[in-house]
Structure 1
């Protein structure tokens, strides 16, 4: 027990030195985390939707959408006229978290942070959006997570992780001189809280 007192005193002194030199950090790592939004499915999906808008105030132009199209091996461009990004689109009893409509392609995203899939969720999404131009169905989750409710539509779904979204966004933001500060906070949030 007596050996712990000097060690504890050393640790306190080290912490104090780090505090004085402003190298000690505490609390949430990003603004989204400070707002308790880092794991909220709607919030992080809305952030992705924001980045995917080619005309968005984020300052990235079509770079994030182009990165996603490349990642999903979709022949298209984020700069194509008429690209639409829709959050929470409802069709009958089914709602898609995110849909990106291009001139000759469609990306339908079911995003998950910690929530479980609803009954037949992915098969229902596939049934409601399969008639869109060249649909690509994406199951976006933390880590490599198998889509359990894609039974009839199993081969139609591609996996994507939040970490890969962060990489796509970081690559897009890298060469850009002037991007909105929220871009960096969003990327940092995904990197810090969705590493799995």
Structure 2
């Protein structure tokens, strides 16, 4: 027998339409027809309803831990949470899923040589000083065996003089063994940096917080649905995932 899978949004209008028709039929004084309830269909309805309700409870009715932590628009704190999300060993439980979504945004038509994944190791650091110079403090450094990435995070602060220019030179220098490297400029608008000369030959990935959150969301939800119910510590997995999804919502509002 062929089974048709409909979303809750598609399925509910028909259900309530049938419900109202049956209710009218029950209340009609002239009817004596007995209405049988299909128990199988009713059970199917409630089984389909459970997943959307869990999603609503998970995303809307629960608290936002980052609001309590006071992240607001503070760049240093938000950089630390973003680094946590990008760390394949992070306690969020998504492994390398968010990192690979970022790499996919760097691996564009202009930068096809950039790898889609690390092969052996990947270290993510915040507040990195690659050359020991405090003027070159980088918000996030991703150092993998087969690529090197620096991320400059902006929310409200202005760029320093020649800031992105310096980061390009530093990333190129640090990408030993001829690893592909990249500099990501993350801003609310996804704008081009002003601190880079027009003749700079290096490729810069300019992303908005909203765009990055969108790139993260689909693969993270797919991973959560696949692993969430099977995880050996399901409740801990749900709390960690909730924190991650709350941060994505904050990213959309920068």
The verdict on a shared fold, with TM-score over 0.5 as the criterion, is: yes
Distance of 2:100 and 2:251 partners within structure 1: 19
Quote how far apart the aligned CAs of 1:32 are. Answer: 2.4
Give the superposition deviation at 1:81: 2.2
Structure with greater Cα Rg: 2
> Where does structure 1 lack aligned partners over 5 or more consecutive residues?
1-28
Structure 1 pair 96–153 and aligned structure 2 pair: CA distance change class (3 A): farther
Quote the residue 1:8 is aligned against.
none
Question: Relative to 1, partners in 2 of residues 1:170 and 1:107: Cα closer, same or farther, differing over 3 Å?
Answer: same
| CA displacement, residues 135-173 of structure 1 (integer Å, 9 cap, x when unaligned) | 111111001322000115364312011112211221232
Counterpart of 1:70? 104
Aligned match for 1:107, one of 136, 149, 153: 149
Unpaired runs of at least 5, structure 2: 1-62, 108-113, 229-236
Q: Following the alignment from structure 1 to structure 2, what is the Cα–Cα distance between the partners of residues 33 and 107?
A: 29
- 1:153 aligns with 200
Tell me the alpha carbon deviations over residues 51-87 of structure 1, each in whole angstroms, 9 at most, x when there is no partner.
1111211010110111111111132315x32101011
1:47 aligns with 2:81: yes
Partner of 1:138: 184
Counterpart position of 2:42: none
CA RMSD of aligned residues (A): 1.9
Per-residue deviation, 1:110? 0.8
TM-score (normalised: structure 1): 0.76
Mean Cα displacement is larger for which, 29-38 or 161-170? 29-38
Task: Please state which structure has a larger fraction of its residues in strand.
Answer: 1
Number of the residue aligned with 2:123: 84
Mapped to 2, the partners of 1:154 and 1:114 lie a distance apart of 27
Cα drift, residue 187 of structure 1: 1.1
Tell me the residue number matched to 1:22: none
Normalising by the residue count of structure 2, what TM-score does the alignment of the two structures yield?
A: 0.60
CA distance in 2 between partners of 1:41 and 1:71 (Å): 21
Cα shift at 1:47? 1.3
Provide the rounded CA distance (Å) in 2 between the counterparts of 1:35 and 1:76. 33
Structure with more contact order per residue of length (Cα contacts < 8 Å, sep ≥ 6): 1
